[in-house]
Amino acid sequence: MNAYYEPTRIIWARKALTLITKGKAVVVVSTNTEIYPGVFLPSVIKLVEYRYVPIRMQTVSRKNIFMRDGYKCMYCGKSAGGENLELEHIIPKSRGGKNSWENLVAACRKCNSKKNDRTPEEAGMQLIRRPLPASMHTPRFILKSLGAEQKDWDRFLFNDSEGEKRLQFN
């Protein structure tokens, strides 16, 4: 997090430990995992000084598309793990479809093979939700999605309804 408790990104534990050792960050929440005697693995760190984090567009990747779509097939709506989902081009690559936020969706193998190399209209299939282009809020949404599994991160992430921070300073 930034010095003002703004979640910025997820980093590797090694990088977090380096920042703490150099005095550039402090531990806010630690895990129960002891890596050295008396040293516990940090779960949440906060930078000591404020650093400007430029707004950057999130890259198109398999993982990011699956998170955006909630790990659900956008044709039949069934939930599936990442290993049971495939990236599906709405406009097939053979017809000039690009690897973009607007043209990629998560699809189960059954729906992906049914659609094959056709448009959804030609295959008689309908998208549950049309994919949106990436915006300046996409990185925040992905960060929130990644942190949903970490209960000790919950109070530092943004609220679903208002988009406000739920900070509890103890």
Domain boundaries of the chain, sorted by first residue: 1-56, 62-123
Q: Retrieve residue 34's tokens.
A: 């002891």
Which residue numbers in the chain have pLDDT < 50?
A: 160-170
Note the helical H segments in 2-137.
13-21, 62-68, 109-115, 120-123
pTM above 0.75, yes or no: no
φ, ψ (nearest 5 deg) of residue 147 = -80, -5
pLDDT in tens, 92-128: 999 999 999 999 999 999 999 999 899 999 999 999 9
- The CATH fold of domain 62-123: DNA Binding (I), subunit A (1.10.30)
Q: What is the DSSP letter of 72?
A: B
